[in-house]
Amino acid sequence: MEEALIILNAAVSGMFHVFSWPVFPMMMIGICVGMFLGLVPGLGGLIGFALLIPFALAMEPITGVAFLLGMSAVVTQTDTIPAVILGVPGTSAAMATSLDGYPMAKRGEAGRALCASYYASIFGTIVAAGLFILLLPILRAVIFAFGQPEFFMLILLGLMLAGSLAGNSLARGLIMAGFGLLLAMVTLETSIGAPRYAGEIIYLWEGIPLIPVVLGLFAIPEVLDLARRGTTISATTVDTRVSGLWAGLVDNLKNWWLIIRASTLGALAGFIPGLGGQVAEWLAYGTAVASDKDPSSYGKGNVRGVIAPEAGTAAQKPGALVPTVVFGIPGNAGMALTLSVFLIFGLTPGPDMITSKLDVTFGMIWVIVVANIIAAVLALVLQRWLILICYLRASILVPIVLGTMLTGATMANQSFGDVALFLCFGFLGYLFKHTDWPRVPLIMGLIMGGLAEKYLFLSFDLHGATWLWNRPLVWVIALVIFLSVFFPPMLRHYRAKRHGKAGAPAKVSGVKVSGYDE
């Protein structure tokens, strides 16, 4: 009882930090910057950190931290906007959202999809904050229960889910994921740092850069099709942009159990260092599809396909903060930069952060929660105009979008290689789109290939082959992979046979998510 009061007291003190002067106005500035970075495909949180850290360091520690966390917390909220409106994920963490969000926009439900995503983000962070409170006593055991083999299996799960859920065919999805894995092999080889498939092209030594590939694969095909059609994005002339506010909330409330499950998975993925938003997103999307009576509706504009990944990705943010502040082990690249800033500010990570400095930790978590709420309100205000993009003529929209995407693609490296990759993958993306080869698994393979390789080699180097049979968590995750990826098509095949449809060609597929890849 006494412990609960201490936690409650720290939670309240943390909330006071957030609304104190000048923490709140600085957080607001951070939020505005973060919203802009999420909105423009190709930018994102890491660029935000690079831009804002010099300003943050001139502030008082808690103000500076709120400024930076405010920025990073909302990037994944506004990255939904291009994912839904244009079908182009603003960051790689919005790919699953675009699978169902873009089809919704096409049928004139962009407002509903966006509002559903904002509410899901808010609920996701709240659930993550609640989980943090609940898990405080066993946090250490949870975080250190995972080793390299479990990391590898979780990466594999994320990859398999992406391969099986994004597209018409399980086989095609897995082939594209394999193609992505092959692309991820282009880098410096792990053990001796020698170039692998990169030759003397130093541009490729750090791997094929993700942003030009994502933007090329998704933006160019959509823009070309739009130019060819010469119409607007939305196929309907009925403007439903105002109706989304209420409909999005109702969608969330109806799916409260899905939100809790997706957020829990997202927060747990955040607790574990090195996994990141993409895994959280696909675990959440996977749970939505697996628990739905009509899995075939995903990819065609099922709002649950928007809610689950948004809640998962949002919950991952406060989740990733926990190992960063408690153990000094950053959960992702953004948190690594945040950790540097914490240390510069004299905020030393450690067990103190969940004992004597618990109010500061709560302050950070509340910043993420409050930032998401504020960003949602701001986005709702802006939405009225943003959705107009769906109703703009192609002749106006195409050059603007192409220019923005090209700028975004080259922003990080400022290299001609970015332009070449952008165009090359744009061509491939167009081919893939029109021949029904899903593009999302390719990106997931590229993102997770490097991680999967490292964790696989580390697993064998540290544990030999024994990790394959003597680690219970590995078996649990393997079972989840089987049940979520391979079992559903097997079950459908069996049912079809049982109902006398065995004569029809038995197409072994995933959950038949058609997606905008159709």
CB 460 within 8 A of CB 148: no
List the structure tokens of 374: 């504020």
193 binds another protein (CB under 8 A): yes
Q: How far is the CB of 350 from another protein (least distance, A)?
A: 4
Interface with another protein includes 188 (CB under 8 A)? yes
Query: Considering the rule CB under 8 A, would residue 463 count as an interface residue with another protein?
Result: yes
C-alpha closest to that of 116 among 294, 277, 362, 288: 288
Binding mask 55-74 for another protein (x = CB under 8 A): --x-----------------
Examine residue 146 and tell whether it contacts another protein (CB under 8 A): yes
Residue 144 interacts with another protein (CB under 8 A): yes or no: yes
For residue 513, the 8-state DSSP code is B
Please state, in angstroms and rounded to a whole number, the distance separating the CA atoms of residues 115 and 24: 24
Determine the Cα–Cα distance for residues 507 and 164; give it in Å rounded to an integer: 14
Burial of 192 (C-beta count, 10 Å sphere; 0-12/13-18/19+): exposed
Question: Of the two residues 140 and 507, which places its CB atom closer to another protein in the complex?
Answer: 140
257-286 burial, b if ≥16 CB within 10 A, otherwise e?
A: ebbbbbbbbbbbbbbbbbbbbbbbbbbbbb
Whole-number Å distance between alpha carbons of 176 and 443? 9
Q: CB 191 → another protein: shortest distance, Å?
A: 5
Residue listed under structure tokens 């103190």 = 352
Instruction: Tell me the closest approach of the beta carbon of residue 261 to another protein, in angstroms.
Output: 26
Compute the least distance from the CB of residue 452 to another protein, in Å: 11
Q: Are 306 and 94 in contact (CB under 8 A)?
A: no
Dist. CA 10–CA 211, nearest whole Å:
40
Per rule CB under 8 A, is residue 454 in the interface with another protein?
A: yes
Distance CA 261, CA 184 (A): 31
How many residues are listed for the chain in this entry? 518
Q: Is 458 in the site for another protein (CB under 8 A)?
A: yes
Which one of residues 348, 356, 466, 470 is an interface residue with another protein (CB under 8 A)? 348
Tell me the Cα Rg of the chain. Answer: 22
Residue with tokens 């193609």: 179
- Site size with another protein, rule: CB under 8 A: 49
Stretch touching another protein by CB under 8 A, among 37-45, 190-198, 249-257, 397-405:
190-198
Q: How far is the CB of 367 from another protein (least distance, A)?
A: 19
Neighbours of 239 (CB within 10 A): 15
With vertex at residue 430, the alpha carbon angle to CA 426 and CA 436, rounded to the nearest 5 degrees, is 135
**Least distance (Å) from another protein to the CB of residue 167?**
30
When asked if residue 438 is in the footprint of another protein (CB under 8 A), the reply is no
d(CA 301, CA 298): 6
Residue number with CB closer to another protein (47 or 182): 47
Shortest distance, position 39 Cβ to another protein, whole Å: 24
Smallest gap from Cβ 11 to another protein, in A, equals 23
Three-state DSSP state, 59: coil
Does residue 461 interact with another protein by CB under 8 A? yes
* Residue 417 is a binding residue for another protein (CB under 8 A): no
- Using CB under 8 A as the binding rule, whether residue 462 contacts another protein is answered as yes
**Axis-axis angle for helices 110-135, 256-271 (nearest 10):** 60
- Could you count the other beta carbons within 10 Å of the beta carbon of residue 344? 13
Q: Which is nearer to another protein, 271 or 285 (CB)?
A: 271
* Least distance in angstroms from the C-beta of 259 to another protein: 29
Q: Give, as ranges, the residues between 317 and 346 that touch another protein (CB under 8 A).
A: 323, 327-330, 336-337, 340-341, 343-344, 346
Q: Which stretch binds another protein (CB under 8 A): 31-39, 59-67, 183-191, 504-512?
A: 183-191
Q: Is 195 in the site for another protein (CB under 8 A)?
A: yes
The 349-388 site mask, x for binding another protein (CB under 8 A), equals xxxx------------------------------------
Residues in touch with another protein (CB under 8 A): 49-50, 53-54, 57, 144-148, 188, 190-195, 199-200, 202-203, 205-206, 273-274, 323, 327-330, 336-337, 340-341, 343-344, 346, 348-352, 453-454, 457-458, 461-463
